[in-house]
Amino acid sequence: MSSFEYHRPTSVADAVAALGGGDEATVVAGGMTLLPTIKQRLADPSDLVDLSGVGEMKGISEEGGAIVIGAMTTHGEVASNPVVQAKIPALASLAGNIGDPQVRNRGTIGGSVANNDPAACYPAGLMAMNATVHTNKRAIPVDDFFTGMFETALEEGELVTKVSVPVPDKAAYIKFPQPASRYALVGVAVAQTGGAARVAVTGAGQDGVFRVADAEAALSGSFSPDALDGVSVDADGLNSDLHGSAAYRASLVMTLAKRAVAAANG
């Protein structure tokens, strides 16, 4: 890989300043996607801005009915955090099943949402739970944040600083993992808050995470697996590859949605 300058700022302001210093400056959070990408020369940063020293981007707290998670909080920390386990067990479970233990010790929630991998778990979970992504500039509702495959609303010099997740009444995330990578072949998250249901799907869409309006309408009437009988998603626009056809993924979406509702109902 090519040589680069390394920076380890200790504040968001210094991180943003360091990002502005190089032609191809990039941030590294946990590096679980970025390092493999650099090794493959798909990324060739001039400057690497390591966010691991930014204390204000770490930690988990409960604020006004929401769980607020610092961007540099690892999947392992979310999975094992007592507040997350108590308030949003579905989120703890989601984080605890990403990748493998070594990946969960490095990978972060901020890195995952900023990367918006079309098969990542967090985008589906956060979209179903109607989270808000906070940056150094603004607060972005999750529906506006994820804009396409590996695409987000983040602008140049904008960093995810924390993610705020409203505590749902009920939620669950079920993934059908691709057995080699453990990424979601399809993953479905459901959440119910005040009678309204949200359903978000990862792994299946060509444009990344998406919501299923018909399923949400059905579940908002009756939050039960049976309510999804007769609801389907169109295979057009879904991914098709050697691991599964678009039709198979479409079928998995509804199967997993039913299982997720059943799991959410406990």
Partner 1 sequence: MSKQHIKFTVNGEEKDVLAEPRELLIHTLREQLNVTGPHIGCETSHCGACTVDIDGKSVKACTLFAIQANGTEITTVEGIGSPDDLHPLQKAFREHHGLQCGYCTPGMITRAYRLLQENPSPTEEEVRFGMAGNLCRCTGYQNIVKSILAAADEMNGVKEAAE
Binding positions for partner 1, rule: CB under 8 A: 1-6, 8, 28, 31-32, 35-36, 39, 48, 50, 52, 76, 99-103, 105-106, 180, 182
Count other C-beta atoms under 10 Å from residue 109's C-beta: 31
Q: Which is nearer to partner 1, 79 or 91 (CB)?
A: 79
CA distance linking residue 127 with residue 212, whole number of Å = 11
Q: Which is nearer to partner 1, 52 or 240 (CB)?
A: 52
Q: Which is nearer to partner 1, 96 or 166 (CB)?
A: 96
Q: Which is nearer to partner 1, 5 or 144 (CB)?
A: 5
CB of 11 to partner 1, least distance (A): 18
Q: Which is nearer to partner 1, 6 or 150 (CB)?
A: 6
CA distance linking residue 88 with residue 104, whole number of Å = 18
Residue type, position 53, single letter? G
CB of 176 to partner 1, least distance (A): 16
CB of 6 to partner 1, least distance (A): 4
CB 210 within 8 A of CB 201: yes
CB 11 within 8 A of CB 30: no
CB of 87 to partner 1, least distance (A): 23
Q: Which is nearer to partner 1, 38 or 227 (CB)?
A: 38
In the Cβ-directed half-sphere of 200, how many Cα atoms lie within 13 Å? 29
CB of 256 to partner 1, least distance (A): 20
CB of 128 to partner 1, least distance (A): 24
CB of 188 to partner 1, least distance (A): 21
Give residues with Cβ within 8 angstroms of 181, minimum separation 6.
119
Query: Which residues sit opposite 68 in a β-bridge?
Result: 61, 164
Structure tokens at 145: 């944040």
Termini Cα distance of the chain = 49
- DSSP 8-state secondary structure symbol assigned to residue 51: G
CA distance linking residue 58 with residue 81, whole number of Å = 13
CA distance linking residue 65 with residue 241, whole number of Å = 41
Cα 70 to chain centroid distance, Å, stands at 14
CB of 100 to partner 1, least distance (A): 3
Q: Which is nearer to partner 1, 102 or 222 (CB)?
A: 102
Structure tokens at 195: 């009678």
Cα 90 to chain centroid distance, Å, stands at 13
